[in-house]
Amino acid sequence: MSAVINLKDISKTYGHGDTSVQALKKTNLSFFNQEFVGIMGKSGSGKSTLLNILGMLDHPSTGEYILDNQNISDHCDDKISYIRSVSIGFIFQSFNLFARQTILENVITPMRYAGTKSKKEMVETATGLLDKLGLADRLKHRPSELSGGQCQRVAIARSLANNPPVLLADEPTGNLDEKTGNEVIDIFHELKAKGQLIIMVTHNPEYENVVDRMIHLSDGHVVKK
Share of the chain above pLDDT 90, in %: 85
Query: How sure is the predictor about 157, in pLDDT bands with cuts at 50, 70 and 90?
Result: very high
| Local structure of 21: helix, strand or coil | strand
Contact between 27 and 63 (Cβ < 8 Å): yes
Query: How sure is the predictor about 48, in pLDDT bands with cuts at 50, 70 and 90?
Result: very high
Q: Greater confidence, 201 or 76?
A: 201
Per-residue model confidence (pLDDT) at position 22: 92
Q: Is the pLDDT of residue 2 over 80?
A: no
Per-residue model confidence (pLDDT) at position 224: 84
Per-residue model confidence (pLDDT) at position 135: 96
Q: What is the CATH number of domain 33-56+76-224?
A: 3.40.50.300
AA identity, residue 217? L
Per-residue pLDDT reduced to its tens digit, 82-108: 999 999 999 998 999 999 999 999 999
Per-residue model confidence (pLDDT) at position 114: 86
Per-residue model confidence (pLDDT) at position 1: 65
Per-residue model confidence (pLDDT) at position 211: 97
Mean per-residue pLDDT, 172-187: 92
Per-residue model confidence (pLDDT) at position 216: 96
Q: Where are the domains of the chain?
A: 33-56+76-224
- 95, 99, 96, 113: which is closest to 141 by C-alpha? 99
What CA–CA distance (Å, rounded) separates 116 from 38? 31
Q: Is the pLDDT of residue 33 over 70?
A: yes
Q: What is the mean pLDDT of the chain?
A: 94
Mean per-residue pLDDT, 109-123: 92
What CA–CA distance (Å, rounded) separates 51 from 56? 9
